[in-house]
A = this chain, B = another copy of it.
């Protein structure tokens, strides 16, 4: 009792495979009576079309790859949100999400799978400034959309968070609340395209307002946030407002303030770039700007699906507008 095939159904309904196929796809009209017979046969046999066979015949795989390294502790919240949204969006369009996690052999695995025709399209996460994966995909002629962007994005579709706008928002809110002595704790600009862009945006925001520029490098971990903020607050005791890249580091800043006897937000205001489930682990609700990674994933997936559908959809380059989130770590300067 192995699986029923389209031939079994056709035989039982007294028609040819072609007619069964067309009732299923709706690509050509079928008489109501014939259709009824076929549907009955399908039900009786418990027939399910084989995806693999459909794909061989149709020349598509029905699967989309999502390259997203899962080894980075810093992006836990982002990872689950982005993956969850992409999976749900793809599933409702009938596509399977094939996960590519490995950072090291990421390119090789991706290349293997696309070359072997297993993937109709690819979503690329954790994009770096010069991302070798883009050329692999472009060479393979396979549609792909970046979550993020590289330094040269001509001829590619991407959906990125608007980190420039987000940084500007943070500085503006702090300044409006009377803060003049700011600092920006950020990841090394060489580490990612986003980090680099954030630093430049911060420099511009300060220059425009003639603010002193203090921007120490700070890895995105809680431990690093605590250390860097601790050192900074002792050396530059006049700082009243902090912009921090990421919730992990922001939580570390709260720990540092705690140890120094500084109250947040009375003595020190803190705003954070990004809002994910990680924020729920903070001792106070973080005031932050939501970069909306979920929305980013949704739009990137939609764009990819669009390109898979017709094929003649042009490139789309989208920036997701950040949203301010009122928390409990920003107050007017005293």
Contact = CB atoms under 8 A, between A and B. Distances in A.
A80 B68 CA distance: 11
Question: Chain A: interface residue count, which band?
Answer: 35 or more
A118 B99 contact: no
B73 A280 contact: yes
A280 B87 CA distance: 28
Given A84-B71, A88-B102, A222 B281 contact: yes
Contacts of A88: 101-102
**How many copies of the shown chain assemble into the complex?**
2
A91 B53 CA distance: 23
A91 B112 CA distance: 11
Interface stretch (A44-52, A187-195, A315-323): A44-52
Interface of A: 3, 48-53, 55-56, 61-63, 66, 70-71, 73, 76-77, 79-81, 83-84, 87-88, 91, 96-102, 105, 109, 112-113, 115-118, 221-223, 248, 251, 255, 258, 277-278, 280-283
28 contacts: A48-B115, A48-B116, A49-B116, A50-B116, A51-B118, A52-B52, A52-B117, A56-B56, A63-B96, A66-B99, A70-B80, A70-B81, A73-B277, A73-B280, A79-B80, A83-B83, A87-B99, A87-B101, A91-B109, A97-B98, A97-B99, A98-B98, A98-B99, A99-B99, A222-B280, A223-B280, A248-B281, A281-B281
